[in-house]
Amino acid sequence: MKKPIIFILLFILKLNGLNAQSICFNPMFGGSKLELNKQYFIVNSTDSIQIETLKFYISNMEFYNTEQLVFKEKNSFHLIDAEDSTTFNLMINLEPNINFNQIKFNIGIDSITNYGGAMGGDLDPTKGMYWTWQNGYINFKIEGKSNLSIAKSNDFVFHLGGYQNEFSTLQTIQLPVQNSQVIPINMAIDKWIYEIDLAKQNHIMSPSKEAVILSNKLSAIFSVTK
């Protein structure tokens, strides 16, 4: 609903010589665009996987020229939902004449924001990314089915979150990029899910050591496409 307003704003900014930067997150599976609810077969096996839900937060987007911070997006919280491809593309208003060769961002919501009370936009608790019995944001949510899972209906559910001390699951990703108007970032979801032994582990729904371990493996799935 907010998107058209953002586009109009960007257009006006552009007329004024400001710099619109697009960063596009592309969830992938087996080398091509992830399709929800599609049955994928694990390479060299008869086991299958399908992804039904993929939602995660990208936050605190920063641009660097070598080691120097040159731009930091304000109020930088973006909920990306595989069901809605319009959420893949983040439009960021850079200041004019900024040169950068690296970007840095978080997967998830930082601890200060987690202590901040009720917030709106992508952080509104109606977005289905908020734990209520022990409050805090879910940073990364993936749900689906696999014959390997022994849970009811072969489901697997991984809600990764937690912001306190040793249960912090926030991940910082740093990627070298080329200074171009559109930066496409691929996320190899298959690579991450193959790290999990679905026969032994089929759900995480609270802050835990397991959530930290799985979150730490997320950074390896991001790559910039040339």
Partner 1 sequence: MKIKTIVIGFIIVLLFAFASADKSLFTTPKNWPKPAYNFKKNQLTDSKILLGRVLFYDPILSRNNTISCANCHSQYTAFTHVDHALSHGIDDRIGTRNSPALMNLAWHQSFMWDGAINHLDMQALAPISHHDEMDENIKHVIEKLKASKIYPLLFYNAFNDSTITGENTLKAISQFMLIMVSANSKYDKVKRMEDSFTKQEENGYRLFKQNCASCHTEPLFTNREFENNGIPIDSLLNDIGRKRITQNDQDYLKFKVPTLRNIEFSNPYMHDGRFKRIFEVINHYTNIQKSKTLAKQLQKPIILSSNEKVDLTAFLLTLTDKDFLFNPKFSFPKEVLLK
Exactly one of 128, 151, 199, 225 binds partner 1 (CB under 8 A); that residue is 128
**Nearest C-alpha neighbor of 51 from the set 171, 191, 145:** 145
Q: Which amino acid does the sequence have at 5? A: I
Q: DSSP character for 95?
A: P
For partner 1, what does the binding mask look like between residues 149 and 188, x meaning CB under 8 A? ---------------x--x---------------------
User: Binders of partner 1: how many residues, by CB under 8 A?
Assistant: 21
Q: Which amino acid does the sequence have at 10? A: L
Residue 131 exposed, middle or buried by CB count within 10 Å (0-12, 13-18, 19+): middle
Supply angle C-alpha 127, 129, 133, rounded to 5.
115
Q: Select 27 or 136, whichever has its Cβ closest to partner 1.
A: 136
User: Hey, which residues between 134 and 153 contact partner 1 (CB under 8 A)?
Assistant: 134-136
Closest CB 210 distance from partner 1, rounded Å:
12
Helix intervals (H) in the chain: 3-15, 111-114, 189-193, 209-216
User: Hey, which residues between 97 and 126 contact partner 1 (CB under 8 A)?
Assistant: 114-120, 123-126
Give me the residues that bind partner 1 (CB under 8 A), please.
114-120, 123-126, 128, 130, 132-136, 164, 167, 208
